[in-house]
Amino acid sequence: MKLPKYSMGVGDRFAHQGVAQLDAMIMARDKGVSIAPVWNKSYREHSIVGTKPDSVRAEADAAVKARKWKDPYFVDADHIRLKTLDGFLESSDFFTLDVADDIGADPGDDAMARFMAKHKKLIGRLNIPGIDRPLEISDTLMAGAARKFLAAVGEAGRIWQRIEAVNGADAVVIEVSMDETDKPQTPAELLVILAAVADQAIPAQTIAPRFTGEFLKGVDYIGPVQQFCKEFDEDLAVIAYAVRQFGLPDNLKLSVHSGSDKFSIYRPMHKSLKKFDAGVHLKTAGTTWLEELIGLAAAGGDGLVIAKEIYAQALSRIDELCAPYASVVKIDRSALPSPKTVDAWDATTFASALRHDQSCKMYNSNLRQLLHVGYKLAAEMGARYTAALEKHEPVVAANVTENIYKRHIRPLFLGE
């Protein structure tokens, strides 16, 4: 199974927007760019919403059938670990192996010695096409990177072995994810990681490193865009080099776990992808849930009532909701409006406060982050929430499709 050059992870907390999401891919295809949709949902999200992995497969298959989609599509067991893997094996064909928690664990002296001996040719000044200076890897840097990442890659290897034993090597796409950590990996460290991935015989088609800057949930990139662009360029060059040197899959590409809506880096990324003729996997996740809430608010009536109720509850339970996402939300609580203030808002005001339009004076990034992690409250509403999605489907779906196509696909994949 081979992941196409361009792919996009589209999370859908409540499994109602599959067709609306696919419509955005169809619009891109009509403009001459093929993007494979990857419906992703993590163990954490299933646990919070109360769903099972096979519900994602059912949604994806139904959307594909409804739109007669003939191109590749995938179902991702997102941020999976060995202890949470088995429930996803039957319904998934894309596995994001999340080994960030194992970064820094001791790999053992024997593993260190084997790695250092096998890859001593990496030590020195490497001339890598696409990087404007030799990549210098000293003995100390090599040993430090190996000590830091070998255990994590070893854990990825164990997860892969379990997947291969059950599903077979040719029926899945594998991603290795190391993005949820505190420090970005340098290009030299990425090269060491990829050497270790090859040693474990993991057929990784995507690799998700940690980049400079902050990738907070639901809001734009925070950090030095120029530095991100430099790292992104150099990582693309390192991947191309590693494919040749280590025999990794020839379609290996970067995966950017965006946390959704990193608009300021999309056009620079497009420029880099064209420069290197490289592919990319973009993971958007919770942006669809927020567009559902915007659509309900914009519909007015009972939809607006539900949106206001969810906000009021989110404010009262902010610590509980933010705890699982503590490393990827930064909310200025003083900037959050009171429930009384929000209760007086009309449909347009609520939608404008939540919609990610930074040119709008009403837009509130703190409110948006809070509601991004507040989907548990909609899950607690059960049938009341999903019935509202179905009742207001035209408005909700239009928001979902427009957001994916206009704000994500056009700048990143089309360069518009």
pTM, rounded to two decimals: 0.95
Tens digit of each residue's pLDDT (9 = 90 or more) over 368-389: 999 999 999 999 999 999 999 9
Q: Residue 399's pLDDT is what?
A: 96
Between the alpha carbon of residue 297 and those of residues 92, 346, 379, the distances in Å are 33, 8, 17
Residue type, 382: G
* Residues across the chain: 416
Mean per-residue pLDDT of the chain: 96
Q: Checking DSSP bridges between strand 280-283 and strand 253-257, what pairing results, if any? A: parallel
Q: Checking DSSP bridges between strand 74-80 and strand 204-208, what pairing results, if any? A: unpaired
Query: Of 3.40.720, 3.20.20, 3.90.1690, 3.40.50, which CATH number belongs to 6-287+405-414?
Result: 3.20.20
The number of beta carbons lying within 10 Å of the beta carbon of residue 340 is 8
Domain ranges for the chain, please list them.
6-287+405-414, 298-400
Residues in the chain with pLDDT values less than 70: none
Tens digit of each residue's pLDDT (9 = 90 or more) over 86-144: 999 999 999 999 999 999 999 999 999 999 999 999 999 999 999 999 999 999 999 99
Strand partners, 135: 126
Distance CA 99, CA 155 (A): 7
